[in-house]
Structures are given as structure tokens and as C-alpha cells.
Amino acid sequence: MILRGITSATLHHHRHRPLPPTSASFSVSDADLAGRGFTLHRDATSLDLARLNSIFVSVGFPRRDPEKIRLALDHSDALLWLHDSRSDLPVAFARATGDGVFNAIIWDVVVDPSFQGIGLGKAMVERLVDDLLRKGITNIALYSEPRVLGFYRPLGFVADPAGIRGMVYSRKNKNKRRN
């Protein structure tokens, strides 16, 4: 299901310029995250891709080719991940792609199952949305498994209020038409 968060922010910043300071109020503050041993990163330079892949698999995503993960991260408009100082491992991740001006889609929101239920996923999505809004991107969508829709609704995501329905290209369906 596609969910969409539509806002009325009017900032206009190019995606490669530094973000202006945030005035957002997050459910878990940066200081609280740090006090709990988590370090927030906004680039993938030191991200352990094998560990990220393990988190993907642990939440039901398919294992991915690490070179393709790196390419996807390089083409992301925004990304965040949390490092746990106690285990010395990344434990949460989220990213967004888009046109850098109007639209973005949030992908790959994952939290290691042993760290779920303590607000890390919410902290990631709140910050990712805030980063996109501060870039002036106001049309923010995401894809979600039906079983986790309830997680995103309190964060401002709804089924598209304009009634737009998402579609996906399916090579399988295309091949059926040819036969």
C-alpha cells in the first residue's frame, strides 16, 4: 500500500546544500538517543553493508547484492542510520529517493528486531521526513506492508487523500498479455 504525507512547507533548498537547523520536536530527542548509546548518521560512509543486509533479512526483506545496496545509497536523496555503541553495530536504517525538488518516496525503514519497540523506527521516520521538508520536498510517499500501516499513521501518513492509487510495473503481467 502506498501512503502519502502531504505538507505545506515552502522551503527551497537544493538537495546537496546543508540543511537549515531543524525546529522540529521529535518523540525521542537526539540527546536521548545519544544517552541511550545511539549515534545518528546521515550518510553511508561508515555503514556496514553486510550488517544492513542482515537487518533487511531479519525483518523479512530479501538479501540484496552489496554492490547494488551501495549504488542505491549513492542515489538516495536522504538517508539515516543508527549505530549502537554497545554492540558496535548499525541497528536502524531508513532512506528516501526522489526528484530533489517536489517528490520523495521513503524506502527501507528497518530496525533490528532486538531493538524494536523502543522508538527507534519512529525516531528515524520523524527525522527523515524533517530532512525532506527542510529541503523543500513536500510530497512524501512511502510503500508499506499492510501489517505495519498502523505504525505510519500516527506519523502523519494516510492513504492518499486525493484518492490516487499506486500501481507497480509487473513483468509477469506483461508476459501474460503476450501469450
The answer to whether 66 touches 53, Cβ cutoff 8 Å, is yes
- Say whether pLDDT at 15 is over 80: no
Residues with Cβ < 8 Å from 115, sequence gap 6 or more?
84, 91, 92
Number of domains in the chain: 1
Give the closest residue to 86 by CA, choosing from 35, 29, 43, 48. 35
Look at residue 161 in the predicted model and tell me its pLDDT.
Answer: 75
In this predicted model, which residue has the larger pLDDT, 15 or 25?
Answer: 25
For the stretch 81-137, pLDDT in tens is: 999 999 999 999 999 999 999 999 999 999 999 999 999 999 999 999 999 999 999
The predicted model scores a pTM of 0.82
In the predicted model, is pLDDT for residue 178 greater than 60? no
Residues of the domain holding 143: 2-18+26-178
Indicate the average pLDDT of the chain. Answer: 86
* Whether pLDDT at 142 is above 50: yes
Which H/E stretch holds residue 151?
helix 149-152
What CATH number did the domain enclosing 101 receive?
Answer: 3.40.630.30
Measured in degrees and rounded to the nearest 5, phi and psi for residue 60 equal 100, 5
Would you tell me how many other CB atoms lie within 10 Å of the CB of residue 173?
9
Q: Provide mean pLDDT across the span 144-148.
A: 85
- Is 152 annotated as catalytic? yes
Question: Which residue in the list 152, 160, 166, 173 is annotated as catalytic?
Answer: 152
